[in-house]
């Protein structure tokens, strides 16, 4: 799992299970102050991975490309 910190949020690489099997790469975003539940943003639409490790590796690469997180918790590239 990779992690990056932005001004108000932290973002971590993640994966979400896909119905029928497999995983999709995702980036989870959470407020630095006040915590709360993370919000998962699926990345690499249409790509499914057979293992959680492969999905997390792909999400880590996308996290490296991430330019930031808006005040509303949206990703921007």
pLDDT interval class at 12 (50, 70, 90) = very high
And the tokens for 74?
């949206």
Give the Cα separation of 14 and 33 in Å (integer). 21
Mean pLDDT calculated for residue range 39-59: 97
Give the per-residue pLDDT at 73.
92
What's the number of CA atoms in the CB half-sphere (13 Å) around residue 63?
Answer: 25
Give the per-residue pLDDT at 24.
98
pLDDT at 41 over 80: yes
Q: pTM of the entire structure?
A: 0.92
DSSP annotation string for 9-58: EEEEEEEEE-TTS-EEEEEEEEESSS----EEEE-STT--BSSHHHHHHH
pLDDT interval class at 28 (50, 70, 90) = very high
């Amino acid at each position: 799992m990779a992690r990056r910190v932005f001004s108000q949020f932290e973002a971590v690489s993640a994966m979400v299970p896909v119905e029928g099997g497999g995983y999709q790469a995702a980036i989870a975003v959470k407020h630095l102050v006040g915590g709360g539940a993370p919000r998962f943003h699926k990345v690499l639409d249409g790509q499914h991975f057979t293992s959680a490790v492969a999905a997390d590796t792909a999400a880590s690469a996308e996290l490296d490309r991430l330019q930031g997180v808006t005040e509303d918790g949206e990703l921007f590239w």
